[in-house]
Amino acid sequence: MNVNFGNIELPAVATLVLACCIALPIALVCGASSTWRDRGPTWGELLGPLRLLQWPVWAAARYEFKWPVHRGIDRVYGLLVTETNAVVLVRHHRRDQHPYLTPPGGTIQPADESPADVVTHTLGPVTHRVEDWTLVDVERKAGHQELVYAARIRSADLDMARAATGQRLQTIPLSSEGLAHLELHPHGVARVLRQMTTEQRGPM
């Protein structure tokens, strides 16, 4: 069944949808509380229920992160472990302070579509040789979240990353002894690293 609007012929279903689109705003206005009757509701008031949706679940794409992320705000860190069971860390120097270590990674940039893309900013293109990224931890903080991924990297590829980027890359044995007395940042990532060493030892 079709319905004619002047020279335009629409199927009945399309007509019904069009009528609902017109009637719904009218119903919202007519059914508004007395505080709206003189001025009418604002768009903010009409769309207010959308604010109940959790950020960033509704606002950002997953791509290959396997988790909703917000670019330019959220951060990704890669726990890359070599075949000798050593984890790759980046050494940072601060003026008049002790150096500290972080896993490669950082803030998710607008063009990043995977953990490898984020870590590439630190290790260079060789990062895309790394496969089987596994999301091992998500820490939510005020205003952002930190996603931690684990993967394996070959020592030969790590040497290429050193040569290509000039980063101060260190390999530290993935053990409680190897990580002891190191200043690791962020603290949530340090916690995950130390937890991994506990899981490797297994129950006593």
Beta strands in the chain (DSSP E): 2-5, 8-11, 75-81, 86-92, 100-102, 105-107, 134-141, 144-152, 169-173
DSSP assignment string, 122-167? HH-GGGGG----EEEEEEEETTEEEEEEEEE--HHHHHHHHHHH--
Q: Which domain holds residue 182?
A: 75-201
Q: Does residue 195 form part of some domain?
A: yes
Same domain, 144 and 179: yes
Do residues 146 and 190 make contact, with C-beta atoms less than 8 angstroms apart? no
Same domain, 42 and 98: no
Q: CB count, 10 Å around CB of 189? A: 23
User: What is the number of domains present in the chain?
Assistant: 2
Give the pTM. 0.67
Same domain, 85 and 48: no
Same domain, 96 and 160: yes
Q: pLDDT per position in the chain (204 positions), as tens?
A: 554 545 555 555 555 555 555 655 555 555 544 454 555 666 555 555 544 444 444 444 566 888 889 889 999 999 999 999 999 999 988 777 788 999 999 999 999 999 999 999 999 999 999 989 999 999 999 899 999 999 999 999 999 999 988 888 999 999 989 998 889 999 998 999 988 887 765 443
Last residue of a domain, one of 52, 67, 88: 52
Q: Does residue 25 form part of some domain?
A: yes
Q: Does residue 43 form part of some domain?
A: yes
